[in-house]
């Protein structure tokens, strides 16, 4: 059997809103993991990333490869794009079996099937084992009801099967099939999170924390991680096959275990991999020995989600890091000359304009190297979505489910979204046109050109 996996094209302005000039293009690692697992189990697999191959004729590509199954992945913000793609596929190839996976259908399986009649089968949650068993069932004409972790159509209704257990040992997964991606050189990150020749990596799944704005339906709250040996083998492959010199670890929390973090760093040092890298961490749990070892292993950037600097909102989102501890940890990281990029979120349900201003004013004074300001987005499956519905209007247009400038999915009762957008825009302007930032980055003409292009463009000026 042949399986075609597709990452649907989604416009940068939809995913990144007013920040689209900085939009990254990252490899669809979820599809790469899925493809390598299917290849390991004897299937012929092809990946089409339509964000890179935007001019491709999808009908011709399907005719040429002639797959038995067509799998599409989708986040919430990409769901409208996925629907259009599936409609095109089903119109031209009504007999092809279409499968949708990814975060959106995992959170809203019945709703997604009802909204998109062109989905034959939905994969719910972690996809590798489920998709492989599903493919085996289709190949052998077995009853789909025996496959765990799916939803499918039967007799004009949908049938949902029991949950598929999460993969306990991630090292059973082959290295992601990046070799199936077209023109790997086209992938890049935004300027805060990358080097010249960069690749993203994911070394763990799940998040042990319980932030109320975040959903963990796909990978759960129990964290599972690749071994240090597996991680180093992937880094070696990236250097050898793709000439990569910077790794962006995209784990929810790279330091969920201090012991594992240190083991990874020690393995990188032992293997003499000579690679620079960055990662997202919970800064409140880091210590000096961790940071020292990270630096020795090549870490030169960290990304921290502070979200808010207002105590009431900290309790609301269940992310309570005291100011004194935050500053203490930032100082430790700066002592080792590792760049710090921090992210913040505004527009939470019940959050006042005064509380937002407090976060912004304090954020721009923090001793960090870069900042991202996001809009609160009431993603399906998150605890805070209920409170959002009680305190405003929650959008039913999935295209608005980004969290960047001018992509409003939540209209709070107490603040006009125009004011929210102005506050967000002003936060970027205050930080990136500050004397502190410009002095530090005067040598980096690439960053400055991007900033000027973004902040001084006429369309943004006219919007505010």
Residues 153-211 pLDDT 10s: 999 999 999 999 999 999 999 999 999 998 888 887 776 676 668 899 999 999 999 99
Residue 458 pLDDT greater than 50, yes or no: no
φ, ψ of residue 213 in degrees (nearest 5): -95, 0
Task: Please tell me the pTM assigned to this model.
Answer: 0.93
Q: Where residue 449 falls among pLDDT bands split at 50, 70, 90?
A: low
Q: Where residue 213 falls among pLDDT bands split at 50, 70, 90?
A: very high
The C-alpha atoms of residue 331 and residue 132 are separated, in whole angstroms, by: 47
Closest CA to 242 of 180, 184, 181: 184
The mean pLDDT of 434-440, rounded to a whole number, is 83
Q: Is 351 helix (H, G, I), strand (E, B) or coil?
A: coil
pLDDT at residue 453 in the model: 62
Task: For the chain, give the mean pLDDT.
Answer: 92
**Range from 28-37, 107-116, 314-323, 451-460 carrying the lowest mean pLDDT:** 451-460
φ, ψ of residue 161 in degrees (nearest 5): -95, 175
Distance set, CA 60 to CA 52, 57, 89, 316 (Å): 17, 5, 11, 51
Continuous H helices in 4-162 = 12-16, 29-40, 58-65, 79-92, 103-107, 109-115, 128-139
The mean pLDDT of 215-230, rounded to a whole number, is 93
Residue 34 pLDDT greater than 60, yes or no: yes
pLDDT at residue 320 in the model: 85
Residue 360 pLDDT greater than 50, yes or no: yes
What are the structure tokens assigned to 295, written together?
């630096």
Residue 311 pLDDT greater than 50, yes or no: yes
Polymer length in residues for the chain = 464
pLDDT > 90 fraction of the chain, expressed in percent and rounded = 79
8 A C-beta contact, residue 29 and residue 234? no
| E-only strand ranges, 161-298 | 198-201, 204-205, 224-225, 246-249, 276-281
Q: Where residue 450 falls among pLDDT bands split at 50, 70, 90?
A: low
What are the structure tokens assigned to 135, written together?
């493919």
Residue 93 burial class via C-beta count within 10 angstroms: exposed 0-12, middle 13-18, buried 19 and up: middle
């Amino acid at each position: 059997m042949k399986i075609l996996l597709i990452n649907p094209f989604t416009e940068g302005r939809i995913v990144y809103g007013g920040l689209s000039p900085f939009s990254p293009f990252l490899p669809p690692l979820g599809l790469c993991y899925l493809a390598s697992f299917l290849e390991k189990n004897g299937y012929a697999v092809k990946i089409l990333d339509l964000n890179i191959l935007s001019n491709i004729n999808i009908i011709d590509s399907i005719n040429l490869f002639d797959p038995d199954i067509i799998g599409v992945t989708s986040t919430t913000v990409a769901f409208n794009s996925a629907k259009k793609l599936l409609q095109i596929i089903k119109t031209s190839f009504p007999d092809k079996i279409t499968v949708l996976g990814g975060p959106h259908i995992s959170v809203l399986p019945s709703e997604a099937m009802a909204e998109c009649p062109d989905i034959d089968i939905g994969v719910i949650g972690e996809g590798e084992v489920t998709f492989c068993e599903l493919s085996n069932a289709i190949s052998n004409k077995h009853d789909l009801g025996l496959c765990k972790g799916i939803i499918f159509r039967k007799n004009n209704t949908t049938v949902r099967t029991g949950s598929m257990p999460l993969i306990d040992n991630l090292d059973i997964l082959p290295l992601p099939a990046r070799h199936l991606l077209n023109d790997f050189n086209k992938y890049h990150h935004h300027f805060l999170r990358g080097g010249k020749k960069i690749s993203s990596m994911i070394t763990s799944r799940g998040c042990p924390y319980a932030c109320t704005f975040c959903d963990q339906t796909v990978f759960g709250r129990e964290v599972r991680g690749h071994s240090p040996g597996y991680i180093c083998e992937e880094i070696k492959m990236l250097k050898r096959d793709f000439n990569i010199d910077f790794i962006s670890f995209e784990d929810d929390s790279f330091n969920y275990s201090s012991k594992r973090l240190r083991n990874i760093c020690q393995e990188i040092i032992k293997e003499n991999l000579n690679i620079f890298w960055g990662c997202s961490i919970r800064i409140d749990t880091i210590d000096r020995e961790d940071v020292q070892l990270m630096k020795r292993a090549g870490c030169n950037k960290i990304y921290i989600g502070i979200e808010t600097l207002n105590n009431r909102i900290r309790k609301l989102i269940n992310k309570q890091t005291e100011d004194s501890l935050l500053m203490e940890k930032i100082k430790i990281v700066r002592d080792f000359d590792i760049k710090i990029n921090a992210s913040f979120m505004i527009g939470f349900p019940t959050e006042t304009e005064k509380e937002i201003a407090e976060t912004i004013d304090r954020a721009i004074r923090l001793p960090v190297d870069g900042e991202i300001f996001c809009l609160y987005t009431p993603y399906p499956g998150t605890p805070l979505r209920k409170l959002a519905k009680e305190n405003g209007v929650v959008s039913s247009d999935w295209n608005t489910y980004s969290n960047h400038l001018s992509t409003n999915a939540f209209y709070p009762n107490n603040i006009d979204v125009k004011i929210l957008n102005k506050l967000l825009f002003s936060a970027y302007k205050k930080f990136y046109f500050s004397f502190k930032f410009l002095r530090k980055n005067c040598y980096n003409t690439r960053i400055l050109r991007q900033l000027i292009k973004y902040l001084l463009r006429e369309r943004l000026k006219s919007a505010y």
